[in-house]
Structures are given as structure tokens and as C-alpha cells.
A and B are shown apart, each in its own frame.
Chain A
Amino acid sequence: MTLRENPPRESVPAHGTHGTTGTTGTTGTTGTHGTTGSTPEEADYHTWTGKARGWLLKRLPADKLLPEDQPSYVASWIYVFGMGAIVSLVFILASGAILGLNGPAWYHVSDLGHFVNSVHLWSVELFFMTTVVHLWGKYWMAAWRGGRTLTWITGMAAFLVSIVTAFTGYLLQTNFDSQWIAFEGKDALNAAGIGAWFNVANLGQIFMFHIILLPLAVGAVVALHVVLVRMHGVVPPLEADESDAQLQSGARHDSDAQHASGEAGR
């Protein structure tokens, strides 16, 4: 086994609309190793960790993950609601952690417990309100354009998983409301055939779902959604299509394909 230096940063191709200013590598070892690959990345990265890093950096370079600027069309209130939902989610997770660590006997009885419980509830209300306005905005600007299908799908998945999480939260109020919701909900879940596994009348099970499994699911889906937004960029309004590099690149592919099929048909 021979020790090799990491490939210089120039070997990771700049990608997307932002472009990179490029860094001047100081190692100067390009071309001295890994000559079997067909592309520069394959040639430079010869281990799975290196290849994984190359794959990630190609799709999500640092200037896309944490951009200096946003396109001018992002300066609109309609683009604020996604971040509003994330901020609400942070409040939900923080207040939820405090509630979970102290337990129902604390938040049902003490003043501070009532307060934190209320913060948790109203953060959820804000989360759903901002999420729904975000969803409306993205639906009416067809936000799945320009190769953003998976971004749209993960957004919808985040919304649906959030609804299940909120449902289990309502079951944890441990009052007549939650008892009513559980005994109404069990019939629907039994009819769907999952009542024996997901038993809404089992407080301990629902508590674990609500504080472990579902927050992890919401967090993971939301994180993936945000990473995809960063990878593909914020979708432009319909009237600003020409400013989106991904849409233009897609349009070029389409016209090339049409041109090629036209040539073939002749």
C-alpha cells in the first residue's frame, strides 16, 4: 500500500449556476496518480471514501451548501415560509425535548411545565400554518420544474410524516380530548389493518413513537429536503424561467433530443 496525497480541489468540477472562483491547489500532484479512470474524478479518487467525497462535492459544493447570495427573485415574502417552518420545527424539537425529559407529571402540574407545553403546541400550529402557505406557494409556481421532482416529493413526505407526528402528539395530552381522539382513531387504523401494530390506545407505545421514531423521521426528511433545495437551488417564479440554469439546461437537452430525433426521422 502506498500513501497518496488527497487530490487537489480543482479536480472537483465546479457545477451549477453559482460557479466557483476556484482555488489554486498547492499540492501540484495532478496526473501523478490514478490514471485508470475515464473521468477526472474517477482517476483521482481511488477509495470508496474518496469517491463518496467526490460524488458529494460534485453535487453539493460548499458554495451551494452555504451560498453567499441568493437570486434576486428570492427577495419576496412567499419565499420566507419554508424557513418559517424550519424555525418552528426547531422550537418544536427544543420544547419537545424539555417536555420529554421532564414527563407528563411535570408538564401537567407545574406552571413552567404548562408554559413549555404551550410553546410546544403553538410552535406546531405555526409549523403547520407556515408549511401550508409554503406548500401553496410552491404548488402555484410548479416548484418541481428543472429537475426538482425529488425536492417536491420530500416536501410532501415531510408534510405527511408531520401530520402523523402531530396526531400522536394530540394522543399524549392525557385528557378526555386525547382519549376521544384515540378511540375514534383506532377504528380507522383497525380498518386499515395496522391497529394491532400501531395501537393508539397504548399510551406508552404512542409516547415512544412521538418522542423517538417520528421526530427522527421528520428531521431526516426535512434535512434531505433542505439539502435538495441547496443542491438544485431555489426554484424561480414562472416568469423568471430563463434565469434558472437547470431549466435552461433541461430545455437544451429537450431541444437537442428533438433535433436528434428529427434528424433520425429524415
Chain B
Amino acid sequence: MEPIVHDFVSILASLDSPGIYLGWGSFQIQLGNLIVILVMILFFVLALFLPFPSGRKRK
């Protein structure tokens, strides 16, 4: 198996593991949850600032 493919497969396989936990003091969060929260914030910010494609005639 190519190394890059192997890396990709191992990342996917790690999704089945108990999970990676990040902690700062008493605060702890699972990496997957943190990614989802960051992606939602990114979507929100992009939704506010990205121009919407102009469709056919609008009022």
C-alpha cells in the first residue's frame, strides 16, 4: 500500500478508536466534537461574508 494511502486509511480507522481528547485545565473536549464546532463557526462566518450568487431576476 502506498504510504499516503496507508496514512489516509489509518486516519479513517482512528475514527473508530475511543477518540483523542484535548484539555486545557479543567476544560476537556474530544477532537471530533471540537472539529464539528469549529466547522459550524466557519460556516456561520462564511455565510455572513461570502457573496450570494445572483440568480435570475429577483425583486
**Interface residues of A, Cβ cutoff 8 Å to B:** 69-72, 75-78, 80-81, 125, 129, 132-133, 136-137
Q: Is the CB of A78 within 8 A of B48?
A: yes
- A71–B58 Cα distance when bound, in Å, is 8
B30-59 residues at the A interface, CB under 8 angstroms: 36, 39-40, 43-44, 46-48, 50, 52, 54-55, 58-59
Q: Is the CB of B48 within 8 A of A133?
A: no
Q: Is the CB of B39 within 8 A of A137?
A: no
- A136–B59 Cα distance when bound, in Å, is 26
Main secondary structure of the interface of A (DSSP, over half): helix
A80: chain B residues at CB < 8 Å are: 47
A77: chain B residues at CB < 8 Å are: 46-48, 50, 52
A69: chain B residues at CB < 8 Å are: 58-59
Q: Is the CB of A71 within 8 A of B47?
A: no
Give the distance to chain A from B11, nearest Cβ to Cβ, in Å.
16
Q: Is the CB of A129 within 8 A of B43?
A: yes
- A70–B58 Cα distance when bound, in Å, is 8
Smallest CB-CB separation from A77: which chain B residue? B47
Q: Is the CB of B47 within 8 A of A129?
A: no
A133-B47 contact, Cβ under 8 Å, with A69-B58, A75-B55: yes
- A76–B58 Cα distance when bound, in Å, is 13
Give the distance to chain B from A234, nearest Cβ to Cβ, in Å.
13
A133-B43 contact, Cβ under 8 Å, with A75-B52, A77-B50, A78-B48: yes
A133-B58 contact, Cβ under 8 Å, with A76-B52, A77-B50: no
Q: Is the CB of B59 within 8 A of A72?
A: yes
B50: chain A residues at CB < 8 Å are: 77
- A129–B39 Cα distance when bound, in Å, is 8
List 9 tightest A-B contacts by C-beta distance, closest first: A77-B47, A78-B47, A75-B52, A133-B43, A133-B44, A69-B59, A76-B52, A129-B40, A132-B40
Smallest CB-CB separation from B42: which chain A residue? A133
Smallest CB-CB separation from B39: which chain A residue? A129
Give the distance to chain A from B28, nearest Cβ to Cβ, in Å.
16
Identify 26 residue pairs between A and B in the complex whose beta-carbon atoms are under 8 Å apart, listed by A's number: A69-B58, A69-B59, A70-B58, A70-B59, A72-B58, A75-B52, A75-B54, A75-B55, A75-B58, A76-B47, A76-B52, A77-B46, A77-B48, A78-B44, A78-B47, A80-B47, A81-B43, A81-B47, A125-B36, A129-B39, A129-B43, A133-B47, A136-B40, A136-B44, A137-B44, A137-B47
Extra A-B contacts (18), CB below 8 Å, given A75-B55, A78-B48, A81-B47: A69-B59, A71-B59, A72-B58, A75-B54, A76-B52, A77-B46, A77-B48, A77-B50, A78-B44, A129-B36, A129-B39, A129-B40, A129-B43, A132-B40, A133-B44, A133-B47, A136-B44, A137-B44
